[in-house]
Chains A and B, each alone.
Chain A
């Protein structure tokens, strides 16, 4: 009996203490993350005058998003984000797999290379973007090097050319984050039992075949993590574009992304005299939120199903 009462009094103390302990974190998180996010979703169904909410508008903001003059910006930015995602999957997560595999086969020196490859990832995308903007500028060192090697003549304008600018930004982003896939794949490879590789080697499998037929299926969880992270980061892409090409995604919107477009709608610089359109901004935010949530869930399920257990 006494024991029973002691546990319940302990539990009562714990309930009270738990509330006190959780409250500060919950208050900060609720006020500065959950509340604004829910209000943004809710607000996308209203008309706005400046930063003031007017009346309920149903889906009017959403239908405005897809037609002239917003439609062209929206589809352009969406296309750039999609291209960015596949570019990163190929350049960053593809090359990263090759690097991780080479390091795994060698073993020796892996920690050194991993540290070097990961270093740019701890730098701010602003710093990385600014650095590459200087290096790739007309008169910059890349131009000088390419001219010296005879690979290019005259002024290098890759960032000012609407055919090459987006590709350059994707490459800079991949340079920035290359260490991430290398670390995640290596951690995945080390979890695979060495006997599996030894058995394959005895059966005469070469390195390429071992990577393709054995390591890759077992790396599905790592690939899933990377695909999901790359998806989220790509569709949040802002910093590199802002620093290297400006908030308009120059030249002539060739590097515009959904978040730079959102930023212009929300905080000005879209339209002739920099007028904001909060209704459109919130509608775009809600759309992006849905795309990101649904996309992430689908990807997690997709890779979950393809996870192979040994």
Chain B
């Protein structure tokens, strides 16, 4: 059973070729990106596909310091980390009573949150800009953290509520008998039981926030507070002829996501396949 007959193998060849072609279509641009990071502009033109002459880090150093990407990188880390933590904490808090108490208004409140999953928030950016200005949250990483959390809360509440709903009711009842307060039940008993939900929310919030470019574009004017995607969008125009530098800045900006993807590819595949919960 393990070995297929030769004609059957032959019949499968065109399919394998199709899959291989798309694999190449994905990997080739990324390969070119990686090798170009180590080449000078002249070398990029002379030696298109080959490996670089030397693996010098010159382009990375120049991108990190001269183009000040290091600064943007730290901003992006702060915003992403802050938004992930804030989203998880407030969404888990909201999802706990909504999924496990009998309140009489669970359905309406859950519906209010869930309606936000599909809302085209970019179209509200004028009023959001006015609001942020009057709150003094323009040119502010805190402002970005609050906006991203607000956008990601609906999806996070949805995921947490789904996972918490199926936990046995004896779980919190027993803890309540032992005199545990509701806050302790949530953070010490319920939340550890829904770790998969925490990781789904953390992964997809981190990807969405790290990658976003629209809100920094309208809220951040001061170079000191720019995030990586915004900075890169400027580089592409500004350093147009310095290809090595631009390629290196692209590589730096995708590095954290690449590392995360290599470590968590399975969880990400399953999360998307199950819920289509991205974007």
> Which B residues between 63 and 116 are near A, CB-CB below 8 angstroms?
86, 89-91, 93-94, 96-98, 101-103, 109, 112-113, 116
- Cα-based distance from A116 to B22 in the complex (angstroms): 9
Do the beta carbons of A21 and B96 come within 8 Å of each other?
A: yes
Q: Of A70-78, A79-87, A236-244, which binds chain B?
A: A236-244
A164 at interface, CB cutoff 8 A = no
1/0 contact string of B230-273 vs chain A (CB within 8 Å): 00110110000001001100100110010011000110110011
Number of contacting residues on A, CB 8 A?
91
B167 interface residue, CB < 8 Å from A? no
Q: Provided the pairs A123-B211, A123-B257 are in contact, do residues A266 and B150 lie with their beta carbons within 8 angstroms?
A: no
Interface majority SS on A: helix, strand, loop or mixed?
helix
Interface check A4, CB cutoff 8 A: no
The answer to whether A271 has its CB under 8 Å from any CB of chain B is no
Q: Report which of A10, A17, A36, A40 forms a contact with B97, defined as CB distance below 8 A.
A: A17
Tell me whether A98 is interfacial, beta carbon within 8 Å: yes
The yes or no answer to A216 lying at the interface (CB within 8 A) is no
With a CB–CB cut-off of 8 A, which chain B residues contact A134?
Answer: 236, 243, 246-247
**Known contacts A22-B98, A25-B93, A124-B213; A13 and B124 CB within 8 A of each other:** no
Q: A33-B119, A37-B121, A239-B214 are in contact. Are A123 and B254 (CB under 8 A)?
A: yes
Residue of B nearest to A244 (CB): B236
| Residues of chain A with a CB closer than 8 A to B57's CB | none
B156 nearest in chain A by CB position = A25
CB pair B254–A117 under 8 Å, yes or no, is: no
Whether A11 and B246, one on each chain, are in contact in the complex, defined by CB atoms closer than 8 angstroms, is no
**Is the Cβ of A102 less than 8 Å from the Cβ of B15?**
yes
- Rounded to whole Å, the gap between the CB of B114 and the closest CB of chain A is 11
Interface code A147-180, partner B: CB below 8 Å = 1, 0 otherwise? 0000000000000000000000000000100111
The listed residue (B101, B109, B279) touching A229 by CB distance below 8 A is B279
Cα–Cα, bound, A288→B121 (Å): 11
Query: Taking the complex as formed, is A131 at the interface, i.e. its CB lies under 8 A from any CB of chain B?
Result: yes
From 29 to 80 in chain B, residues with beta carbon under 8 angstroms from any chain A beta carbon are 29-30, 32-33, 45, 48-49
Type the 1/0 row for A1-33, where 1 means its CB is closer than 8 Å to any CB of B: 000000000110111011001101110110111
With beta carbons under 8 angstroms apart, the residue of B93, B214, B254, B276 that contacts A225 is B276
Contact assessment for A127 and B48 in the assembled complex, using a CB-CB cutoff below 8 Å:
no
Most A CB atoms within 10 A — which of B124, B147, B154, B207?
B124
The reply to whether A14 and B229 form a contact with Cβ atoms under 8 Å apart is: no
Using known A-B contacts A40-B124, A135-B32, determine if residue A115 contacts B265 with beta carbons closer than 8 Å.
Answer: yes
Q: Within 8 Å CB of A236, what residues of B?
A: 120, 122
Give bound CA distance, A32 to B154, whole Å: 12
Asked if B200 lies at the interface with its beta carbon under 8 angstroms from chain A, I say no
Does the CB pair B118–A232 fall under 8 Å?
A: yes
Of chain A, the residue at the smallest CB distance from B12 is: A106
Q: Are the CB atoms of B261 and A187 closer together than 8 Å? A: no
Confirm or deny: B193 has a beta carbon within 8 angstroms of a beta carbon on chain A.
no
A141 to B103, CA, bound (A): 62
Pick from B86, B120, B232: contact of A288, CB under 8 Å: B120
A139 to B48, CA, bound (A): 11
When A15-B103, A40-B127, A126-B232 are in contact, do A229 and B276 touch as well, CB less than 8 Å? yes
Q: Measured between alpha carbons, how far is A230 from B27 in the docked complex, in Å?
A: 24
A13, A17, A289 — most chain B CB neighbours (10 Å): A17
Whether B48 contacts A22 by the Cβ 8 Å rule is: no
Say yes or no: B125 contacts A131, CB within 8 Å.
no
Q: Counting CB contacts under 8 A, is A97 at the interface?
A: no
- Is there an interface contact between B213 and A132, defined as CB atoms closer than 8 Å? no
Q: Which of A55-63, A193-201, A248-256, A277-285 contacts B (4 or more CB under 8 A)?
A: A277-285
Q: Contact between A21 and B120 (Cβ–Cβ < 8 Å)?
A: no
Indicate if the CB atoms of B125 and A126 lie closer than 8 Å: no
Residue of A nearest to B97 (CB): A18
Contact B254 A127 (CB under 8 A): yes
Known A-B contacts A115-B265, A124-B229, A144-B48; A21 and B22 likewise in contact (beta carbons under 8 Å) = no
Q: Are A25 and B157 in contact (CB under 8 A)?
A: yes
Contact of B125 among A13, A15, A266 (CB under 8 A): A266
Interfacial chain B residues near A131, Cβ < 8 Å: 29, 33, 250
Q: Is the C-beta of A122 less than 8 angstroms from some C-beta in chain B? A: yes
Q: Contact check, A267 vs B218: say whether CB atoms are below 8 A apart.
A: yes
Cα A205 to Cα B257 with chains together (Å): 43
Q: Does A307 lie at the interface of the complex (its beta carbon under 8 Å from any beta carbon of B)?
A: no
Q: Are the CB atoms of B150 and A113 closer together than 8 Å?
A: no
- Determine whether A259 belongs to the interface, using a CB cutoff of 8 Å to chain B: yes
Among A32, A39, A119, A235, the residue within 8 A (CB) of B261 is A119
The interface bits of chain B over 115-146 (1 if a CB of A lies within 8 angstroms of the residue's CB, else 0) are 01011111111111111000000000000001
7 contacts between A and B (CB under 8 A): A26-B113, A37-B123, A116-B27, A130-B233, A131-B250, A286-B123, A288-B120
Return the 10 tightest CB-CB contacts between A and B, nearest first.
Answer: A124-B211, A32-B150, A187-B273, A18-B97, A25-B94, A285-B123, A36-B127, A36-B124, A25-B90, A36-B128
Taking A25-B90, A285-B126 as given, write out 15 further A-B residue pairs in contact, using a Cβ cutoff of 8 Å, ordered by the A residue number: A14-B101, A25-B94, A32-B128, A32-B150, A33-B150, A98-B18, A114-B269, A122-B261, A127-B253, A134-B236, A135-B32, A183-B272, A226-B276, A232-B279, A259-B122
